[in-house]
């Protein structure tokens, strides 16, 4: 296998994802909620990943762990929707339910009787009811990020990388100290490569592209090269 450095891996991984997204956009099928769900999360990953590359190129990487955490959330949801056909709609319903609960808590704790908040609750409730009826969804499973990670088979990534980057997102003392010592800086791009390639491999399973098997083969080849690179870094 041809040895690749980090910059080569990053460049080829993002090029592949961009190509797959372009093909999926051109061949998208109207009304397919699952496909749209997976595509949007893949696009979100691509856009956020490009932001990280821009920040890294300008030596402004302090916020990168926060961005990677969001990319991981999109990956968990995307892969869960790939492996569990009804997950896409159920995740949306779970997100709406959480938003409603948060707004209700604001009203209760803050004593805020703003009609706008009540109207928002009504709109979200109506949307969820219509979606549940249209797609005949009976499950009321709480699809939080942990459940998405479990369903996607990425529980180990959740326990390691997602937990690590969450410290930065929530401004914990340990997260800030780790940032001061730059203990996660190199890990950021390693995880970004993994997320991008994982996205390609799963997106083509749901969204139509011109050459899906070719994309899967290319992402597998790059993933193998990334593993070799990471092992080399560990022994350096």
The DSSP line for 182-225 is: TSSHHHHHHHHHHHHHHHHHHHHHHS--S-HHHHHHHHHHHHHH
CA-atom Rg of the chain in angstroms: 20
Say whether both 48 and 115 belong to one domain. Answer: no
The last residue of one of the domains, among 108, 138, 168, is 138
Which residues neighbour 29 within 8 Å (Cβ) at sequence distance 6 or greater?
Answer: 35, 208
Residue 194 inside a domain? The answer is yes
Residues spanned by the domain of 116 = 87-138
Structurally, the chain folds into a number of domains equal to 2
- The contacts found for 143-150 with CB under 8 angstroms, 24 or more apart, are 143/80, 143/87, 143/90, 143/91, 143/94, 143/95, 144/94, 145/73, 145/76, 147/80, 148/73, 148/76, 148/77, 148/80, 148/87, 148/91, 149/76, 149/80
Say whether both 105 and 166 belong to one domain. Answer: no
User: Comparing C-alpha atoms, which of 227, 216, 195 is closest to residue 77?
Assistant: 195
- The answer to whether the pTM exceeds 0.85 is yes
Instruction: For the chain, 236 residues long, give each residue's pLDDT as a single digit of tens.
Output: 567 889 999 999 999 999 999 999 999 988 899 999 999 999 999 999 999 999 999 999 899 999 999 999 999 999 999 999 999 999 999 999 999 999 999 888 877 677 888 899 999 999 999 999 999 999 999 999 999 999 999 999 999 999 999 998 898 998 888 878 777 777 899 999 999 999 999 999 999 999 999 999 999 999 999 999 888 877 76
Say whether both 74 and 103 belong to one domain. Answer: no
Residue 143 inside a domain? The answer is no
Say whether both 10 and 102 belong to one domain. Answer: no
């Amino acid at each position: 296998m041809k040895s690749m450095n980090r910059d080569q891996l990053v460049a080829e991984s993002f090029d592949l994802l961009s190509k797959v997204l372009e093909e999926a956009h051109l061949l998208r099928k109207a009304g397919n909620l699952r496909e749209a769900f997976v595509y949007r999360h893949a696009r979100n990953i691509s856009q956020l990943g490009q932001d990280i590359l821009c920040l890294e190129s300008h030596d402004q990487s302090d916020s990168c762990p926060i961005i990677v955490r969001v990319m991981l959330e999109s990956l968990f949801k995307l892969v869960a929707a790939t492996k569990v056909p009804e997950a896409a709609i159920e995740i949306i319903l779970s997100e709406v339910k959480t938003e409603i609960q948060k707004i209700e808590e604001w009203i209760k704790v803050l004593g805020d009787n703003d009609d706008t908040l009540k109207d928002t609750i009504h709109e979200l409730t109506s949307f969820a009811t219509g979606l549940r009826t249209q797609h005949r969804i009976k499950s009321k499973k709480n699809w939080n990020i942990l459940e998405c990670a479990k369903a996607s088979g990425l529980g180990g990534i959740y326990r390691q990388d997602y937990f690590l980057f969450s410290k930065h997102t929530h401004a914990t003392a340990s997260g800030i100290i780790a940032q001061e010592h730059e203990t996660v800086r190199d890990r950021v791009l390693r995880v970004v490569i993994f997320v991008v390639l994982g996205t390609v491999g799963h997106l083509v399973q749901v969204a139509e592209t011109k050459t899906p098997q070719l994309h899967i083969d290319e992402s597998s080849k790059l993933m193998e090269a990334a593993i070799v690179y990471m092992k080399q870094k560990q022994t350096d």
